[in-house]
Chains A and B, each alone.
Chain A
Amino acid sequence: MILTLKKRSVLPGFGLALGWTLLYLCLMVLIPLSTILIKSASLSWAQFWDAVSSPRALASYRLSFGASLVAALINAVFGLLVAWILVRYRFPFRRIVDGLVDLPFALPTAVAGIVLTTLYSPNGWVGSRLTKVGIKVAYTPLGVMVALTFIGLPFVVRTVQPVLQDLDVGIEEAAHSLGANLWQTFRRVLLPELLPAWITGSTLAFARALGEYGSVVFIAGNMPMRTEITPLLIMTKLDQFDYAGASAIALVFLVASFSLLLLVNVIQRRQSSLPVLG
């Protein structure tokens, strides 16, 4: 049966490899995910609506989506800049900086959480200076944004970097010698090439920020209605054994993040179908 599914190959092991992969995915991903649907289905439509549209839930969506969006935008701007200098310029410690960009992937989120809180709290290294100018970061929505910016930082850099590396610098030089200034070269020559990767990276940063829990709970202060993110609200409901309510909110959240993932796939498919320059 499987043989008709795949194209001919002399290599063995297809059945074993694919079978094991599917089994594991079912056990670890598909069956578990379906429990959310089943649990939510135990609610009536009105109960479901009440759970997902309570004022506290709505406030948490606003904060989660708003802060993630701002963090993704900050990362979009600075990620592009960092990718640019890493690829196009040579400066001391470039390799080390390049490696360091992945730190938010490797650093446990709880560690990131306590360290950012300590830095940005009113008596921390950064926080004490910001307090003097009247900016409060820790325990405000601004703090949530800082944490989300930290954890999303590598995404834009790592998606834009390879595309930028494959772009022929000759095209930019051609544009330059035809009289375009730096901004025009960037805007007319580079941006169209980088745009798909840039959007993909920013969307991934956004999606990652949406689900983030570990680093945010420390810095947010977790006041209901003000600095409570949606994953924390789910956690709170679980602690109160309100499993159905938690599932309902989780379902809304899952649909949102899958839509984002789908969007990324669509963008990437368009990207790969575009003719490649150079």
Chain B
Amino acid sequence: MATTASPRILTAPRTKPRVRTDPALVRWALIAIGGVFLGLFLLLPLAAVFANAFAKGATAYMAALREPEAASAIRLTLLASAIAVCLNVVFGVAAAWAIARFDFTGKNLLITLIDVPFSVSPVISGMIFVLLFGAQGWFGSWLAARDLKIIFAVPELIPVMQALGGEEEEAAVTLGASGWKTFFRITLPNIKWGLLYGIILCNARAMGEFGAVSVVSGHIRGLTNTMPLYIEILYNDYQFVPAFAIASLLTLLAVVTLVAKSLVEWKTERQAAEHDSVTEEGL
């Protein structure tokens, strides 16, 4: 597949990785350099979120989360991203079905178009919706989130669907199953892990979206503040502990997303292995 602009879809190839035996000095030197780089850029920030959130103890942390404004930000974020995720899942499955199962004119153009929101600056996409709907109101904040987030469900599904091949569905249709029956009995069970990860990632992106939502929502406290916007307000007020307390929730969500990704990769690998062995037995 012409890879999309979203590298996270590149699930690890299924061939067994080949291990090299370079001189130990070279090997460990390279691992050390890579480790220091990743430690400095990934591990340190991750640790710092929690260190800052608990800087004044667990009571201050809990108090920050119990603020009514925090609660309303969390509520709006959950509601907005739930709507965005639902819309995008329907789109994602439809687009993946069209792209992975059929050959048609303009397919590459379609793939490129799906990638567009990914490469457009969030500020610009937020601005687009301001231009379109004029009003900066609570309506906007979930609208912006859903424009972007779709896209994360789709790329995850296309490779999964392609890898599984269309034979099972073709067999079902040939045997007389209806289209929807085929979809619910064959396709959905097959793609469920990819779909699940797509949904989790889509949700994480929607809940964490900042630039686009920031333009659209109009920052009405307690009404149109999502969690990332609330973090910004707290941080600019020098309320570091509450800011990092909310941030730690989103960070936990990010970590859950990463764990889910690893699990899904492992599951699809196993599923593909089973699939292969079944096909081989059949031959």
A residues apposed to B, CB below 8 Å: 2, 5-7, 9-14, 16-18, 20-22, 24-25, 28-33, 35-36, 39, 78, 81-82, 84-85, 87-91, 95, 97-112, 114-116, 118-119, 125-126, 149-150, 153-155, 158-159, 161-162, 165-166, 168-169, 172, 182, 200-201, 204, 207-208, 210-214, 218, 231-232, 234-235, 238, 243, 246-247, 250, 253-254, 257-258, 260-261, 264-265, 268-269, 272
Neighbouring B residues of A208 by C-beta, 8 Å? 119
CB distance from A144 to the nearest CB of B (A): 14
Whether the pair B116, A119 counts as a contact (CB closer than 8 A) is no
Residues of B within 8 A of A165 (CB): 12-13, 15, 17
Q: Quick one: which of B1-44 are within 8 Å of A by CB?
A: 2-3, 5, 7-8, 10, 12-13, 15, 17-20, 22, 26-27, 30-31, 33-35, 37-38, 40-44
Q: Compute how far the CA of A226 lies from the CA of B117 in the bound complex, rounded to whole angstroms.
A: 29
Given contacts A81-B34, A91-B31, contact A231 B124 (CB under 8 A): yes
* B247 and A103 contact, CB distance less than 8 A: no
Residues of B that sit less than 8 Å from A by CB: 2-3, 5, 7-8, 10, 12-13, 15, 17-20, 22, 26-27, 30-31, 33-35, 37-38, 40-46, 48-49, 52, 90-91, 94-95, 97-98, 101-106, 110, 112-117, 119-125, 127-132, 146-147, 150, 166, 169-170, 173-174, 178-179, 182-183, 201, 204, 207-211, 214-215, 227-229, 231-232, 235, 240, 243-244, 247, 250-251, 253-255, 257-259, 261-262
Report the 9 A-B pairs with minimum CB-CB distance, sorted nearest first: A108-B208, A211-B121, A158-B7, A12-B179, A214-B210, A213-B211, A169-B18, A6-B104, A106-B254
> How far is the CB of A182 from the nearest CB of chain B, in Å?
7
- Minimal beta-carbon separation of A52 from chain B (angstroms): 14
CB neighbours (8 Å) of A21 from chain B are: 91, 94-95, 98, 110
Residues of B contacting A115 in the complex (Cβ-Cβ under 8 angstroms): 45, 48-49, 52, 244, 247
B147-A29 in contact (CB<8A): yes
Residue with the highest number of chain B CB atoms closer than 10 Å, among A33, A116, A268: A33
